[in-house]
Amino acid sequence: MRMARFLVALGAVMAAAHASALQPLEEFLRGARASGADDAEARALHRQAGADAQGALGRALPRLSLRGTYTRNQYETDVDLPAAGGGTPATVTITPKGQLDGSATLDVPLVNLATFAGIAAARTGARAAGIAAAATDLRVQAQVAQDYYQLVANVSLVGSSKRALEVARASLQTAERLHAAGSVPLLDVDRAGGEVERDVQQVAAAELQVALVARALASASGVTPELDREVTLADDLHEEPPLERFQPPDDHLPSLAAAIERRVSAEQLATAQRLALVPSLSASITERGTNATGFSGREFYWQGVVALTWSFDLTTVANIRSQDAAADAARAREQRARLAARDDIHATWRTVATDIARSRSARVQAQVNARAAQLALERYQAGTATQLDLLQAQRDAFAADAGRIQADADLVNARAQLRIAAGVSLLEPRAEVAP
């Protein structure tokens, strides 16, 4: 039951876009994910962190190196060695004119605790980068959703401004007719004309806001909004589930989960830095080939080495202290991310509750002021009300309609922001918000 209510609520957040000329919100969200600079950068950083983790692992695996050289010497060095028993002396070439040398070396790290701990830290960092990419995607979705619903509000505000302009022009015609009949002074005509010009400016300002927000939405998503007619927002003003339903575990909040992984990675790096005090053990075997056989008389021979290495200086202690401080800073950032994530959920949940009240009140106010404006017009035409009363009623009606439009847009946007704050993607909603 809880899951069904959540999915219904999520559907209500996105339903307004489908019944209008403007593309659905999902199209802009997918466009931002596919072509947005922030998402592209986050994905690239994830790939980079994955490659770094593979590099850290590669440094702990056996390594094969091949080397071949050709040396041209000016002089050849030979040594005649007397043969045993008085035989013919043997000539041994120490340095030939054309010297060929080749070697193949296999290095095997046997025990290097610092390197092994560094591998774990790199893998954790790669996971953190992947989670951070998901957090970036949610942040981009939040911005796109806000721009989208603000664009919807601005388009509706243009329509409301144009309707107010039509009313003002009708009022001007009424004032001109009444003045021609001698019922009202010329001052009423001038006031009505001024109101028309005021509404013309309102239309221009509203159209500017549409153009600006449409450009911002297109830049964020790579999708050009289609604005051929006014969009209608609809919300049934239902209450959201309790706040506890929007408090998922830490690993379901990407921004917090990424901070946790970064803290774990910093702690692993601190451990690796301490393990640098432990000696490392490695082994290598090298096969060599040369035409300068020297006294050995062997063209090919191998050499095996087992090495125990330990080093210490002042920088080792300084590096340990530095990494410990970095781990402490990562813990502080994790706590800050936890508080910010939970505060964001609380703030957006409270915002939805407030916007429901605002939207309900704004709808009533718009209806009341619209009736008041109509009544003021009728009374003015009948000569029982002044033009100032009519102008004030019409201005109040327009302001109330604009407030209703903005309140409805803020409410639908707040519902979307609440789900994003709870770690839910608007493109791939989870089945549940909280366990």
Q: For position 21, what pLDDT does the model report?
A: 60
Q: How many domains does the chain have?
A: 1
pTM across the whole model: 0.82
Q: Is residue 431 part of a domain?
A: no
Stretch 103-131: mean pLDDT, rounded? 95
Q: Give the mean pLDDT of the chain.
A: 89
For the beta carbon of residue 111, count every other beta carbon within 10 angstroms.
12
Q: Is residue 432 part of a domain?
A: no
| Position 87 confidence tier, pLDDT thresholds 50, 70, 90 | low
Q: For position 435, what pLDDT does the model report?
A: 40
Q: For position 8, what pLDDT does the model report?
A: 44
* Cα gap 127→265, rounded to integer Å: 10
* Cα gap 289→101, rounded to integer Å: 6
Whether the per-residue pLDDT at 143 is higher than 50: the answer is yes
Q: For position 299, what pLDDT does the model report?
A: 86
* Cα gap 346→292, rounded to integer Å: 79
* Residue pLDDT, tens place only, 211-261: 999 999 999 999 999 987 767 777 899 999 999 999 999 999 999 999 999
Q: For position 93, what pLDDT does the model report?
A: 80
Cα distances from 410 to residues 77, 149, 208, 414, 418, in angstroms, run 91, 8, 20, 6, 12
- C-alpha R_g of the chain: 39
* Cα gap 366→363, rounded to integer Å: 5
* Residue pLDDT, tens place only, 153-207: 999 999 999 999 999 999 899 889 888 988 889 998 999 999 999 999 999 999 9
Q: For position 383, what pLDDT does the model report?
A: 84
Domain membership of residue 139 as a residue range: 12-60+112-277+312-421
Q: Is residue 388 part of a domain?
A: yes
Given its phi and psi angles, is residue 411 left (phi above 0), alpha (psi -120 to 50 degrees) or beta?
Answer: alpha
Q: Is residue 399 part of a domain?
A: yes
Q: Is residue 70 part of a domain?
A: no
How much of the chain, in percent, has pLDDT values that exceed 90?
75
Q: Is residue 293 part of a domain?
A: no
Q: Is residue 283 part of a domain?
A: no
Q: 361: which 2 tokens?
A: 């009140």
* Residue pLDDT, tens place only, 251-264: 999 999 999 999 99
> 15: buried, middle or exposed (CB in 10 Å: 19+, 13-18, 0-12)?
middle
Stretch 92-101: mean pLDDT, rounded? 87
Q: Is residue 434 part of a domain?
A: no
Do 57 and 248 meet the contact criterion of CB atoms below 8 Å apart? no
What CATH number corresponds to the domain at position 176?
1.20.1600.10
Stretch 402-416: mean pLDDT, rounded? 95
* Residue pLDDT, tens place only, 293-321: 877 778 898 999 999 999 888 899 999 99
Q: For position 86, what pLDDT does the model report?
A: 63
